[in-house]
Structure 1
Amino acid sequence: MDSNDWDARYAASAELVWTAEPNRFVVEAVTDLPPGDALDLAAGEGRNAVWLATHGWRVTAVDFSPVAVARGRELAARRGVPVRWRVADVTTDVPEPGRYDLVLIAYLHLPPAQFATALAGARAALRPGGTIVVVGHDRANLDGGVGGPRDPELLLTPEAVVNGLDWLRLERAGTVRRPVTVDGTTVDALDTLVVATEPA
């Protein structure tokens, strides 16, 4: 899907397409970190960016959908927190190197070469001692979970993400279960989760 497709998807709903609450794995990975400068790549409607800002982070949120960014601005305004919003494509817009204490990539699903480009930019954007958190639908979700893209080329594996984070110190890497409710029944989605730190 390109930015126009995502604009149409966001504009078709009067409410947020995704919840306003942050992703549970982002919360787990970040809660004990001291707030600093954070970059949320492919931030969508801003649920994680706004949560970070409410916890003292200075957040830059980037997404290629102007409609999503507008909704993120509204959510931040309702919560009374500052977030710097940018409309940009994370596959071509290169973050400032060495600028951030935290870089987040949540549910960014692209062809492998494009994802590798975005991941390389995210990795380079870390300051010494900074943390990167990558979470998204795992390839195992095709057969063992619910939701997410159905094209295996767009899905993540912990191994593929780790391979793009050379020289970082791994804090956590694996496939995790995320309970979701479908038609009144709780079932599991399977996500890739990787947390790594740039050596100080």
Structure 2
Amino acid sequence: MIETGSGTHNVAPTGPVRPPGGSPGVGWIVVGLLVLVAALIGGSAGAVAVFREPAAPVALPGEPTVLPQEAARLAACAFARLMVTYHHSDLDGYFEQMRAGSTGEFHDQFVEGAAGLRAAMETAQVSSTVEGEPECLSRSGAGTEYVVVAIVGQRLTNGTAPDGRSQRTTFALTMRKVDDRWLAAAIDKV
């Protein structure tokens, strides 16, 4: 900016701009050193990334590729939604989906207790629906087993409280990969 008698004007310099007493090559030397340092750091990080074995992505035909941790998280979220969606007058589909979505000791316990659980649900006339979207966060794990924390809003009703009540429930779901599916291997209320 140059101030003249008729106002202030933007004027571009016509020659190289140098700090007072500075030599023309010093700026380029500093820039060159910065580029060299960045290349060395980037090269080291690149070398580490090359030697690190990447997680194998997972994808169903026609769907985007998903890393195992994210696939486990998505499966846990879907299973949590399933767990809290049932109606006492139509439990066949619920029990079948719970069996199909579980594995290991949890699956075995669910199958063993299904008759008693069904009788209790029908007698009490319990129903539950999901309120909002479940929040699911990966907590730990690696390879074929991850623990996911799911926070689920649900509306519960029963024979004595047909208007129901809302609540938020938090579960820790251990998801295990069996063949190409992520199944619930353990569920703990948090």
Say yes or no: TM over 0.5.
no
TM bucket normalised to smaller: under 0.3
TM (norm. structure 1) is: 0.22
Q: TM-score, normalised by structure 2?
A: 0.22
Larger gyration radius, structure 1 or structure 2: 2
